[in-house]
């Protein structure tokens, strides 16, 4: 069920705003990702939403008839319903009612694999469910004993709310422990010059496929939305031979529920602490610019909007007309994020990956690379091996009892070789 409200507080932007049809198509993909079979759709355009049912009594009757004809068991609304609206719709239709946020939470619950993921999803679900609890009034109240406790006592609704509030407090404490553990891990990584680069982007943009291409990992890459939920980190070597950590994170989506952003704070801190973001965009999509804008909004919400970005135009091989259309997509996307460098790649075929690695190398200021000429005694194999392992050796010559090398070496390697003679 899609609802378009004509009274808007801001004028529509045709470049970045989704149409009602586009939004319902995305909801369809979300429903399929959750394991549902979509039996049909219904839309309504209104001046403003009805406070009781959002869509009004007449449309509720039409929705009841449409659902009955399709033997539907669940109605999905492409918006967030208030607790009152959801309760009234369930009573009127006698069917399960889910809004967009609940559907996304259900997908996240199915995708979570680690204990941290399960805790984060449960926290988001409880925060969303708390104002939507429906009690049964005095019929389920508990009477107290003793003087001064006559009459209705604590209702079942109040009991449920207290239990949920207690569980939320426990989960937050557990997640703080997780957050502390991640903080310790980051400090350990920062004790050596090891930069972290995070993949971010709209869900289904191809982040996991790109992650697998760059790291030779085997992370699940699926066309379903939110196929990757729990973050994964791997080491990769750049052309300069510097080693970095690459992090694959959960995909963002339009109208990402605030409860999810709050619950996944521990995971999203990997994004805020990263030295560089690879902002992956499906360049073949007609909504590429809109995807960029929505991801930027989430990055701003978590305080990562100022982190340097490389705009990765993925699926460039699917753009008909190749070069010119890729260039046009690059210009449009850079207009929406002028600070970013744009690189066209195909994570599936490997096209453009070398250019992307070179761009990452040039964008990282941690452990800067500098060209050196150094003379090392020929009998000392360890420092020579160190240069070949962690620097880009341009030339190597043996002169008498010495090995003279020219290399582009990171600062950390230059410090470890400070006892050897530099050739001017």
Task: Report the share of the chain in percent with pLDDT over 90.
Answer: 7
- Residues with Cβ within 8 Å of residue 224, at least 6 apart in sequence: 32, 33, 204
Question: Is 141:156 a contact under the CB 8 Å cutoff?
Answer: yes
Mean pLDDT of the chain: 77
Whether pLDDT at 156 is above 70: no
Q: State the Cα angle at 69 between 65 and 72, rounded to 5°.
A: 95
- What is the per-residue pLDDT for 396? 92
Whether pLDDT at 270 is above 80: no
Question: Is 197:278 a contact under the CB 8 Å cutoff?
Answer: yes
Task: Report the share of the chain in percent with pLDDT over 70.
Answer: 75
Instruction: Compute the distance between CA of residue 236 and CA of residue 325 in angstroms, rounded to an integer.
Output: 31
Tokens 């046009």 correspond to 328
- What is the per-residue pLDDT for 103? 86
pTM: 0.68
Instruction: Indicate whether 343 and 381 sit together in one domain.
Output: no
CA 271 from chain centre, in angstroms, equals 9
What's the domain range around 46?
Answer: 2-103
Instruction: Indicate whether 344 and 198 sit together in one domain.
Output: yes
Environment class of residue 210 by beta-carbon count within 10 Å: exposed (0-12), middle (13-18) or buried (19+)?
buried
Whether pLDDT at 392 is above 70: yes
Total of domains in the chain = 3
* Residue-wise burial string across 332-368, b where 16 or more C-beta atoms lie within 10 A, e elsewhere: ebeebbeebbbbbbbbbeeebbeebbebbbebbebbe
Least confidently predicted of 20-29, 37-46, 183-192, 347-356? 183-192
Least confidently predicted of 148-157, 224-233, 249-258? 148-157
Instruction: Indicate whether 328 and 214 sit together in one domain.
Output: yes
Whether pLDDT at 36 is above 70: yes
Instruction: Indicate whether 228 and 88 sit together in one domain.
Output: no
- What is the per-residue pLDDT for 374? 92
Instruction: Indicate whether 275 and 342 sit together in one domain.
Output: yes
- What is the per-residue pLDDT for 342? 80
Last residue of a domain, one of 81, 103, 125: 103
Instruction: Compute the distance between CA of residue 295 and CA of residue 239 in angstroms, rounded to an integer.
Output: 29
The domain spanning residue 268 has which CATH number?
A: 3.40.50.300
Q: Is residue 130 part of a domain?
A: no
Alpha carbons within 13 angstroms on the beta-carbon side of residue 413 total 27
Least confidently predicted of 1-15, 84-98, 121-135, 176-190? 1-15
* Residue-wise burial string across 377-391, b where 16 or more C-beta atoms lie within 10 A, e elsewhere: eeeeeebbeebeebb
Whether pLDDT at 172 is above 50: yes
Instruction: Indicate whether 312 and 388 sit together in one domain.
Output: no
> Residues for the chain: how many in total?
424
Number of C-beta neighbours around residue 91 at 10 A: 10
Number of C-beta neighbours around residue 226 at 10 A: 21
Q: How confident is the model at residue 142 (pLDDT cuts 50, 70, 90)?
A: very low
* Residue-wise burial string across 300-319, b where 16 or more C-beta atoms lie within 10 A, e elsewhere: eeeebbebebbbbbbbbbeb
Q: How confident is the model at residue 406 (pLDDT cuts 50, 70, 90)?
A: very high
Question: Is 204:145 a contact under the CB 8 Å cutoff?
Answer: no
Q: Is residue 132 part of a domain?
A: no
Q: Is residue 14 part of a domain?
A: yes
Least confidently predicted of 16-30, 31-45, 182-196? 182-196
> Over the stretch 2-32, which tens digit does the pLDDT of each residue have?
888 876 544 444 444 567 888 888 888 888 8
Instruction: Indicate whether 79 and 207 sit together in one domain.
Output: no
Whether pLDDT at 390 is above 70: yes
Whether pLDDT at 140 is above 50: no
Instruction: Indicate whether 86 and 209 sit together in one domain.
Output: no
- What is the per-residue pLDDT for 155? 62
> Over the stretch 319-368, which tens digit does the pLDDT of each residue have?
754 455 556 556 655 665 555 678 888 888 888 888 889 888 888 877 77
Q: Is residue 392 part of a domain?
A: yes
Instruction: Indicate whether 382 and 323 sit together in one domain.
Output: no
Q: Is residue 163 part of a domain?
A: no
- Taken in order 393, 394, 400, 402, the sign of the CA dihedral is negative
Instruction: Compute the distance between CA of residue 114 and CA of residue 201 in angstroms, rounded to an integer.
Output: 22
Find residue 282's DSSP bridge partners.
Answer: 314
Strands 196-201 and 276-282: parallel
Instruction: Indicate whether 274 and 395 sit together in one domain.
Output: no
- What is the per-residue pLDDT for 150? 44
């Amino acid at each position: 069920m899609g609802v378009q409200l004509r009274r808007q507080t801001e004028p529509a932007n045709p470049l970045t705003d989704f149409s009602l049809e586009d939004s319902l198509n995305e909801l369809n993909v979300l429903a399929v990702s959750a394991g549902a079979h979509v039996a049909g759709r219904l839309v309504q355009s209104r001046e403003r939403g009805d406070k009781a049912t959002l869509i009004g009594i007449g449309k509720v009757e039409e929705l009841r008839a449409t659902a009955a004809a399709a033997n539907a068991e669940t109605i999905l609304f492409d918006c967030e319903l208030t607790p009152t609206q959801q309760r009234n719709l369930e009573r009127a239709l006698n069917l399960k009612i889910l809004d967009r946020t609940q559907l996304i939470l259900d997908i996240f619950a199915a995708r979570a694999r680690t204990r941290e993921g399960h805790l984060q999803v449960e926290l988001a679900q409880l925060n969303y469910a708390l104002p939507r609890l429906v009690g049964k009034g005095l019929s389920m109240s508990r009477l107290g004993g003793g003087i001064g406790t006559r009459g209705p006592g604590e209702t079942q609704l109040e009991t449920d709310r207290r239990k949920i509030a207690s569980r939320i407090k426990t989960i937050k404490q557990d997640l703080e422990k997780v957050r502390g553990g991640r903080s310790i891990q980051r400090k350990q990584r920062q004790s050596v010059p090891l930069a972290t680069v995070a993949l971010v982007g709209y869900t289904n943009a191809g982040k996991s496929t790109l992650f697998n291409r760059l790291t030779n990992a085997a992370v699940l890459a699926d066309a379903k939305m939110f196929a990757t939920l729990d973050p994964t980190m791997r080491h990769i070597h750049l052309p300069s031979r510097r080693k970095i950590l690459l992090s694959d994170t959960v995909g963002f989506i339009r109208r990402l529920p605030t409860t999810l952003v709050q619950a996944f704070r521990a995971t999203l801190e990997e994004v805020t602490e990263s030295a560089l973001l690879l902002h992956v965009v499906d360049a073949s999509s007609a909504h590429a610019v809109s995807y960029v804008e929505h991801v930027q909004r989430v990055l701003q919400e978590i305080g990562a909007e100022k982190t340097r970005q490389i705009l990765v135009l993925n699926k460039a091989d699917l753009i008909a007309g190749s070069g010119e259309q890729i260039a046009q997509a690059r210009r449009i996307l850079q207009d929406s994020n002028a600070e970013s460098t744009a690189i066209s790649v195909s994570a599936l075929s490997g096209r453009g990956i070398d250019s992307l690695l070179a761009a990452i190398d040039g964008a990282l200021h941690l452990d800067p690379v500098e060209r050196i000429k150094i003379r090392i005694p020929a009998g000392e194999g360890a420092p020579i091996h160190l240069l070949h392992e962690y620097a880009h050796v341009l030339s190597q010559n043996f002169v008498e009892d010495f090995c003279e090398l020219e290399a582009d070496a990171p600062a950390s390697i230059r410090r470890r070789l400070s006892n050897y003679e530099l050739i001017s």
